[in-house]
Amino acid sequence: MTYKPTSTDVQLDFHGDNREVAVIRLSRGAKRNALNDALILALRDIFENLPSTVGAAVIHGEGAHFCAGLDLGELQERDAGQGMHHSRMWHAALERVQYGPVPVIAALHGAVVGGGLELASACHIRVADESAFYALPEGSRGIFVGGGGSVRIPKLVGVARMTDMMLTGRVYNAQDGERAGFAQYLVPEGEAFTKALELAVRVAQNAPLTNYALMHALPRIAEQPADQGYLTEALMAAIAQSAPEAKQRVKAFLDGKANKVAKS
């Protein structure tokens, strides 16, 4: 039976003959896909319950914006302890996105702000259209990031840019945002989802151990001292190349039956 998300503010569909791409849609357009607690928990649960046919996921948003961040309506009455647990709940959910079963491609348009940018930064590839803009309004709301943004966003754009955005309210448009590193792909307005799906179909065809290594080993190697990183890399490389699928793929190339690398 198909898993049903626990919040009606998020939808889960599948693409492909073998349901190899999960398509996750934030569907709270009237509130600009602001992330309430139920939605965050539903996202966590989706990534814990993806069927084994799925090899990649796309996440996108309904309406004119990807996501307006934290639902500010839920912020009002929390004390310090509740605030900490709330942030930890976001961490657990976005950890399932980043370190879940499959690579996740975010299709970005309109506002990608606050917690919306934190969600996007937990994904593995970001595709933005020309309408996208990036901001961290937490600074002007008197709060701080709480969804892992202080860990993940500097890895995309650097500590200096994030500090500037939070201190001054600076907003990056789509072009400047791509140049800064928020997105890896910039496409014409209205085309982010199509491009993200195309990439997801491609990613889902990779050997599962390659995708696993990229999601789970690469970011950890990047955090390790070089001598430990080299060892982790060697172990991961040995495991990946020992898989029968790797041997078949290499043989196919040597037999002239696999694609060559071509200039784009």
Kindly list the residues in this chain that would bind ligand 1HE in the complex (CB under 6 A): 31-32, 34, 64-65, 68-73, 90, 111, 113-115, 137-138, 141, 143, 145-147
What is the number of the residue whose Cβ is closest to ligand 1HE?
114
We find the least distance from the C-beta atom of residue 5 to ligand 1HE, in angstroms, to be: 20
C-alpha 74: how far from its chain's center?
24
At 207, list the tokens.
């050997």
138 given a catalytic annotation: yes
How far from 62 is each of 29, 59, 74, 234, 249, CA to CA, in Å?
Answer: 5, 10, 21, 42, 38
Helix, strand, coil percent content, the chain, rounded in steps of 5:
50, 15, 35
* Least distance CB 87 / ligand 1HE (angstroms): 6
Tokens representing 112? Answer: 């990608």
Q: Cβ 130 to ligand 1HE, closest distance in Å?
A: 16
Nearer to ligand 1HE, 103 or 147 (CB): 147
In the set 118, 130, 223, 233, the catalytic residue is 118
Nearer to ligand 1HE, 50 or 70 (CB): 70
Task: Give me the least distance between CB of 90 and ligand 1HE, in Å please.
Answer: 5
d(CA 177, CA 161): 11
- Asked if 77 is an active-site residue, the reply is no
Cβ nearer to ligand 1HE, comparing 39 with 46: 39
Quick count: other Cβ atoms within 10 Å of Cβ 141?
13
Residue among 45 and 138 whose Cβ is closer to ligand 1HE: 138
Residue pair 69/34 in contact by the 8 Å Cβ criterion = yes
Which of 48, 138, 198, 223 is catalytic? The answer is 138
As measured in angstroms, the least distance from the Cβ of 205 to ligand 1HE is 34
* Distances in whole angstroms, Cα of residue 174 to Cα of each of 112, 183, 221, 262: 10, 8, 30, 28
Which residue's CB is nearer to ligand 1HE, number 64 or number 231?
Answer: 64
CB-side exposure of 211: number of CA atoms within 13 Å?
24
Tell me the catalytic residues.
Answer: 118, 138
